[in-house]
Amino acid sequence: MNIRKIAELAGVSVATVSRVFNHPERVLPETRDRVLAITEEYDFTPNWFARNLTLGSTKTIALLIPGIDSDLYRNIISGVETVAGNKGFVVIFCQTRGDAEAEFNFLKIMKSRKVDGIIQVRSLLTPSMAAELQTFNIPRVHIGKNRECGCEMMCYLDYEEAAYRLIHHLSGLGHQSIVLLYDNQGDDITPEIEAGLHRVSRELKRSIRFTAFAGENSAQGGYLAVQRMVQNGDLPDVLVTAGALQAIGALKAARDMNLSIPGDLALASFNDSPVCSVVSPAITCLEMPAAKLGMASARLLFDRIEDDDQDMGVSQEMILQPKLKIRESCGNTTDIFELFD
């Protein structure tokens, strides 16, 4: 029995049934009585009603996140907090620092604190740890693609499509060699970038040289990367950095070494930051919908916390799409570089 069937039986809309439980004063008494009679007959309690009565709910959820030092993480936190706030929940925040052991311990502590649900960002849990959590019985959502961490719900960004769009654009500008500077602390996004790159090569029937190396996700990291490429005498057409700060560092290195961007070296970043549009040349980048990612994952979590049997029936996986923001650093010369289309 679900709310739709109740509505059908009572000959009213789903919203009316909903109103009978939430705002009975707004429903005509005879309609209300009819709906209540049917819900009683079928022994039906709507979940949003039950959720307020759930015994033992602490109205808290936990957010396990590697750090707070990037725009991406900050925006995820903000997104999660927004939805939790809308629901009247408090978020307990645990910084895992990219350590599987720490993450595992936090999970056990959160269980003892009786949180209603948990969101794990970029989980590093191993299958054996996940197995130990089998009996946990707390809804968990994973922001990331680790399928071994035992979360039944997942939410992540489509990096491959993002890479495809960025490289398609770069390639269209005539660039033929790309170096990726990825984050030595974060995920290695090289496989996704390579997949996107292959799609572009296939489609445009053009070969693109690609190499990747790791660096610190900071301005310093970007600075050193450019210095290294210049001193090794192997400047590519484009440098793509994983983080916006790395791109800023690359910009500074170029200035110090009298390189013109984008003339001698084109530049793009795999993540956006407000500074990217402020510096000159403004940096072309991908905007990751991180706040939306936080909101989406929190919503999956609350759907589960609030109703086990409302049967949302949708896939428990949500994929979000980054957006390409074409500015100047990639070598784009059209006048309208701040309109993203």
Partner 1 sequence: MSHTIDLMGLQLKNPIMTASGPWAGDAVGIQRCIDAGAAAVITETISLEAKQRISPRLFCDDDGLFNTMLYSNMHLEEWEEELSTIDRKDAKLICSIWGSTASEIAYLSKKVEHMGADAIEISISAPIGSRNLRMLRHSCDIQEFMGAAVKAVDIPVMVKLSYEAASSPNFLRELELSGIRAVSAIDALKGLAGVDIENQRSLMPTYGGYTGQHIRPVSLATTAALHQYTPLQVVSSGGVLDHETAIEFLMLGATAVQLASAILCSGYGIITEIVRNLEHWLTEHGYSSVDTLRGTALRSLRAFEDIVPRSLCASVNEKCRRTECLICAQSCLQDAVYLDEAGTIAIDPDRCDGCGLCVERCPHGLLTLEWR
- Residue ranges that bind partner 1, judged by CB under 8 A: 3-4, 13-16, 18-19, 22-23, 26, 82-83, 86-87, 158, 161, 289, 291-292, 295-296, 299-300, 310, 312-315, 317-321, 323, 339-341
CB of residue 26 vs partner 1: minimum separation in angstroms? 7
As measured in angstroms, the least distance from the Cβ of 12 to partner 1 is 9
Closest distance to partner 1 from the beta carbon of 124 (Å): 24
Nearer residue to partner 1 within complex by CB, 43 or 311: 311
* Parallel, antiparallel or unpaired: strands 153-157 and 177-183: unpaired
Please identify, using beta-carbon distances, which residue of 53 and 314 lies nearer to partner 1: 314
The secondary structure of 84-132 as a DSSP string is: HHHTT-EEEEEE-TT-HHHHHHHHHHHHHTT-SEEEEES----HHHHHH
Nearest to partner 1 of 177, 310 (CB atom): 310
User: What minimum distance in Å lies between the beta carbon of 31 and partner 1?
Assistant: 11
For 269-299, letters b (16+ CB in 10 Å) and e give bbbbbeebeebebbbbbbebbbbbbbbbbbb
C-beta closer to partner 1: residue 228 or 292: 292
- Tokens representing residue 66 in the block: 């590697």
Q: Of 62 and 318, which CB lies nearer to partner 1 in the complex structure?
A: 318
Rounded Cα distance, 73 and 81, in Å: 12
Separation CA 284–CA 329 (nearest Å): 6
We find the least distance from the C-beta atom of residue 13 to partner 1, in angstroms, to be: 6
Q: How far apart are CA 98 and CA 122, in angstroms?
A: 8
